[in-house]
């Protein structure tokens, strides 16, 4: 198990993006590890890659982390739209 934060963002072309940022790498200059296809695609489009040292194990089940990230991202988007 790793400690850190799940972050999210929204890209009109790709939808909701979910990333993991390990403890010690949580700041504005960090590019977390993408946890869903939207995040992977957005990084590829901008020719960027993760810059944190943490790597996810191959075939790891991240479905709970992705679902939590998508839920939080959706809640944030609703708040922004209803201001």
Total number of domains constituting the chain: 1
Let me know the angle formed at the C-alpha of 1 by 53 and 24, rounded to the nearest 5 degrees: 40
Q: What is the mean pLDDT of the chain?
A: 83
| Global confidence as pTM | 0.75
Point out which residues pair with 59 in neighbouring strands. Answer: none
Answer for the pair 38, 14: CB distance below 8 angstroms, yes or no.
Answer: yes
User: What pLDDT, in 10s, does the model give residues 35-51?
Assistant: 899 999 999 999 998 88
Sheet holding 15-22, edge to edge: 4-11, 15-22, 33-34
CA 23 – CA 4 distance, rounded (Å): 4
Distance CA 8, CA 69 (A): 6
The parent domain of residue 14 ranges over 4-81
pLDDT at residue 2 in the model: 66
């Amino acid at each position: 198990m790793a400690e850190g934060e799940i972050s999210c963002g929204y890209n009109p072309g790709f939808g909701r993006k979910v990333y993991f940022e390990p403890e010690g790498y949580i700041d504005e200059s960090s590019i977390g590890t993408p946890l869903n296809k939207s995040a992977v695609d957005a990084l590829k489009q901008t020719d960027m890659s993760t810059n944190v040292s943490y790597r996810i194990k191959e075939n790891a089940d991240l479905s709970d982390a992705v679902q939590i990230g998508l839920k939080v991202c959706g809640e944030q988007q609703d708040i922004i739209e209803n201001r």
